Chains A and B, each alone.
Chain A
Amino acid sequence: MSSFSVTEPSKRIKWFAGTMVILYALITMIPLAWIMMTGFKTPPDSISYPPKVIFEPSLEGYVNLFTTRTRIAPDDLAALPPPETWYDEIVRDRNMVIAGPSKFGERFVNSVIIGFGSTFLSIFLGTLAAYAFSRFKIPLADDLLFFILSTRMMPPIAVAIPIFLMYRNLGLSDTHLGMILLYTAVNISLAVWLLKGFIDEIPREYEEAALIDGYTRFQAFYKVVLPQAATGIASTAIFCLIFAWNEYAFAVLLTSATAQTAPPFIPTIIGVGGLDWPAVAAGATIFLLPVMIFTILLRKHLLRGITFGAVRK
């Protein structure tokens, strides 16, 4: 009869809770906002004290991120033909000329190749294994599953010691293939656990009906189960991608140039004489943005992903 419910909080409590949470959210965003702002400062503005909240935006950080520059004497500078592009002009204002592109582009591409490569492989192998664990009786299945999970408990540095030696012998050091295999091995535990959960939720009756219709197991798997598991596979893939994208320890130990990804590279961005914080911030912004977007897309499955499927909503 009455709409009153004991579990529905009062208006005042709601207002209070809302204010507190929004306050926390705003505080938590300050560092991120500061990274993005710093990317649009000039180097002197970025290290001025007290820190500048209001400043004249500049693209110098982004220009510095993508170029290498050399300082030249003012006389030589004056002798040069006038700058051709807006970025030339920014660099000239600092008594420098552009010497060439920086390595950031390459490192970013490496991140993309290794991230997507390992994600594809983990999902491919993980889906197969998860299906088998979900549908068939596998001897020692629980032990095997726990074994798969336990590989995530090792500190990455500890894992990296033998991997380093192994890759050195196999010639896989600093190669894309080596990093893809390694990230796949790390991600596969996540993929198997998550996907097993998603596949468990698909009623067996669907496949059984298909089998009775004369489908083979294989057909039942890819015509019935896969489409049903599509959302689960997609969100698992994003989790794998984010891990590979963010990974630092293996990357810093096992790659030096050819296959180096962005996370070990960004902290080493320096300017010509002294740290170039706007360039670092610009690199960080470009690097963090995709993950932010993914997080927003993923929000429904977030919990499940970060707890290896232990908590489902």
Chain B
Amino acid sequence: MSDKSIDRVAAATPAPVARKIRGLSDRAIAWIFVAPTIFLLLAINIFPLIWTIQLSFTNYKANRIGREVKNIGLRNYERILTDSDIWLNMQATAHFLFWTIFFQVLIGFTLAWLINKKFKGNDLWTTIIVLPMMLSPAVVGNFWKFLYQPQIGLFNYIVTWFTGAEPSSFEMLGSVDLAPWSIVIVDTWMWTPFVMLICLAGLRSIPDYIYEAAEIDRASKLRQFFTITIPMVLPFLMLAVLFRGIENFKMFDLVVQLTGGGPGSTTELTSINLKREAFEKWRTGYASAYAIILFVTVFGLASIYVKALNKVKER
């Protein structure tokens, strides 16, 4: 075996003694191993969260050091929930969430289905397709801004090539009607591969014999698709939607670089709005209440969704 001294000592030590040398019980080791992580999370996640809750009841402003901090009860929450501008931000977020998920599921599933046809070289092409989602969203957003320039950007010229419209006749980022779609396009470009990968895993998890049995029963291909493929992939697909939903609810970097929330406030997602309140206007108390509301919303929606997901899995 090994000739390291520690091993020899270990081997030569009688069992009862060794047990004592081992010293630390499994329980102690378990806690020693877990403690640093828990401590770090307490210090950098939980303590700040509690602090945020506390701040959300005050009128504190982080840029006004000498100013008196007053406890103002639920006033911040009341202001946020009755502010019509914030509801517009929520709507913009909902639009973004719905359509990105819609397109990503549609395109992602189709791609996965095609790739699952196991044509030659599908591994290589899958890897290429996956690249965009690993890149830095801020850098990507910044560069798509360039691609979207009406005079000099590539995007408008490609559209022109297909439709014949003047490349300077429409502004993806500048027009109120197009800007919400411009961010949907970039997010879809970036994250479709994510949905695709998960769907692909789902498709590959379906055992061949199920199709073979269906074939023996003379079920049509279309019928097989709806009665076997879709139900079997659904839990995977729902998982992908959960991840994308949470991520896009938090969306900040990509959109802030692309539109900065403009034109006007048409693409001002809640995170961008929150950033303005917290780090530009420095209304810390107000922004804390805002953050708590967002957190509760994501947490609530996600919990309901996870319940639904588990039901689907059980079927």
For window 22-53 of B, CB contacts with A under 8 Å fall at 22-24, 26-27, 29-34, 36-38, 40-41, 43-45, 47-49, 51-52
Contact A302 B130 (CB under 8 A): yes
Is residue A55 contacting chain B, with contact meaning CB distance below 8 A?
A: no
Contact B6 A158 (CB under 8 A): no
Chain A 1-35 against B: per-residue CB contact (8 Å), 1 yes, 0 no?
00001111100011101101110110011111011
Is residue B127 contacting chain A, with contact meaning CB distance below 8 A?
A: yes
Chain B's nearest CB lies how many Å from the CB of A295? 4
Instruction: Name the residue among B24, B30, B111, B125 with the largest chain A CB count within 10 angstroms.
Output: B30
29 A-B interface contacts by CB (under 8 A): A6-B212, A6-B215, A14-B118, A17-B115, A22-B125, A25-B129, A34-B147, A126-B37, A132-B33, A136-B29, A150-B299, A153-B250, A154-B298, A155-B252, A156-B252, A158-B52, A158-B294, A158-B295, A161-B291, A168-B62, A185-B43, A185-B44, A215-B10, A216-B24, A249-B275, A253-B275, A296-B127, A303-B201, A313-B201
CA distance A152 to B243 in the complex (A): 11
Q: A21-B111, A31-B144, A31-B189 known; A157 and B271 CB under 8 Å? A: yes
The majority secondary structure among interface residues of chain A is helix
Q: Looking across the interface, which residue of chain B has its beta carbon closest to that of A292?
A: B131
Is residue B11 contacting chain A, with contact meaning CB distance below 8 A?
A: yes
Choice from A128, A153, A168, A181 contacting B295 with Cβ under 8 Å: A153
Is residue A257 contacting chain B, with contact meaning CB distance below 8 A?
A: no
Contact B21 A246 (CB under 8 A): no
Q: A31-B143, A162-B52, A216-B22 known; A132 and B34 CB under 8 Å? A: yes
Give every chain B residue within 8 A of A288 (Cβ-Cβ): 135-136, 139
Q: Looking across the interface, which residue of chain B has its beta carbon closest to that of A53?
A: B154
Q: A245-B136, A284-B139 known; A136 and B130 CB under 8 Å? A: no
Give every chain B residue within 8 A of A291 (Cβ-Cβ): 134-136
Contact B30 A303 (CB under 8 A): no
Is residue B121 contacting chain A, with contact meaning CB distance below 8 A?
A: yes
Contact A162 B48 (CB under 8 A): yes
Is residue B204 contacting chain A, with contact meaning CB distance below 8 A?
A: yes
**Complex A-B, nearest 5 residue pairs according to Cβ-Cβ distance, in ascending order:** A158-B291, A162-B48, A18-B119, A248-B138, A185-B44
Chain A 262-298 against B: per-residue CB contact (8 Å), 1 yes, 0 no?
0110110000000001001100100110011011100
Contact B127 A161 (CB under 8 A): no
Is residue B114 contacting chain A, with contact meaning CB distance below 8 A?
A: yes
Chain A 138-179 against B: per-residue CB contact (8 Å), 1 yes, 0 no?
100000100110111111111111111110100000000000
Chain A's nearest CB lies how many Å from the CB of B81? 17
Q: A21-B115, A153-B295, A161-B287 known; A280 and B127 CB under 8 Å? A: no
Give every chain B residue within 8 A of A17 (Cβ-Cβ): 114-115, 117, 119
Q: A31-B143, A188-B41 known; A24 and B129 CB under 8 Å? A: yes
Contact A192 B37 (CB under 8 A): yes
Contact A162 B37 (CB under 8 A): no
Choice from B24, B212, B239 contacting A217 with Cβ under 8 Å: B24
Is residue A202 contacting chain B, with contact meaning CB distance below 8 A?
A: no
Contact B129 A217 (CB under 8 A): no
Is residue A109 contacting chain B, with contact meaning CB distance below 8 A?
A: no
Give every chain B residue within 8 A of A86 (Cβ-Cβ): none
Give every chain A residue within 8 A of B291 (Cβ-Cβ): 154-155, 157-158, 161
Give every chain A residue within 8 A of B239 (Cβ-Cβ): 307, 310-311
Contact A311 B198 (CB under 8 A): yes
Choice from A163, A263, A287 contacting B44 with Cβ under 8 Å: A163
Chain A's nearest CB lies how many Å from the CB of B12? 9
Q: A128-B33, A161-B52, A284-B143 known; A18 and B189 CB under 8 Å? A: no
CA distance A46 to B52 in the complex (A): 46
Give every chain A residue within 8 A of B74 (Cβ-Cβ): none
Give every chain B residue within 8 A of A77 (Cβ-Cβ): none
- Chain A interface size, as a band, is 35 or more
Choice from A9, A18, A128, A253 contacting B37 with Cβ under 8 Å: A128
Chain B's nearest CB lies how many Å from the CB of A133? 7
Chain A's nearest CB lies how many Å from the CB of B256? 8
Give every chain A residue within 8 A of B122 (Cβ-Cβ): 18, 21
Q: A253-B279, A267-B257 known; A161 and B142 CB under 8 Å? A: no
Q: A21-B111, A21-B125 known; A51 and B34 CB under 8 Å? A: no
Contact A47 B131 (CB under 8 A): no
Choice from B38, B55, B290 contacting A144 with Cβ under 8 Å: B38
For window 183-203 of B, CB contacts with A under 8 Å fall at 189, 194, 197-198, 200-201
Is residue B208 contacting chain A, with contact meaning CB distance below 8 A?
A: yes
CA distance A127 to B176 in the complex (A): 49
Choice from A5, A28, A138 contacting B30 with Cβ under 8 Å: A138
Contact A21 B24 (CB under 8 A): no
Give every chain A residue within 8 A of B105 (Cβ-Cβ): none
Instruction: Name the residue among B23, B138, B249 with the largest chain A CB count within 10 angstroms.
Output: B138
Q: Looking across the interface, which residue of chain A has its beta carbon closest to that of B30?
A: A136
Contact A28 B132 (CB under 8 A): yes
For window 225-276 of A, CB contacts with B under 8 Å fall at 242, 245-249, 252-253, 263-264, 266-267
Chain A's nearest CB lies how many Å from the CB of B191? 10
Chain B's nearest CB lies how many Å from the CB of A261? 10
Chain B's nearest CB lies how many Å from the CB of A180? 11
